[in-house]
Amino acid sequence: MALKRNLIILLSFFNFGCTSLAERDYSSALIEEMTPEAKKEIEQVLSAASKRTIRGLSENIFMTDSIVVIEKNRPQDSEISSIRIMTKPDRYELILNKNGQCFIRHDETNLQWFLFKAKCVSQ
């Protein structure tokens, strides 16, 4: 009985250790050099992720901070369209995995979108 209990405890610690390592498989990142292609790709990813058209992003998006916060869609009803939405905004983080691949990660869902045209560096 004690052997079974000890084995369960040992496996629990092992499983916890694997989970912790997997969570640290990436680091916050910055765009190394913004190109028109990279900016367009970022706009497309954020548009798809937020389910609306995103245009006119800053020329230095993800170059000084790895986090971008985007307000959720406002209602289309003209009576309430000027009222600020009181829901939590979407938060996106630019991340670099251990293989040097650059992703945009949605904080709430942990969904990730790979960037092909942007070159990232660890923050």
- Rounded CA Rg of the chain: 20
Q: Helices marked H in the chain — which ranges?
A: 2-23, 36-50
Query: How high is the mean pLDDT of the chain?
Result: 79
Predicted confidence (pLDDT) per residue in 62-85, tens digit? 999 999 998 876 555 555 555 555
Phi-psi region of 100 (alpha: psi -120 to 50; beta: other; left: phi over 0): left
Distance between CA atoms of residues 25 and 34, nearest Å: 25
Instruction: Encode pLDDT of 103-123 as tens digits.
Output: 999 999 999 999 999 999 998
pTM metric for this prediction: 0.71
User: How many residues can be counted in the chain?
Assistant: 123
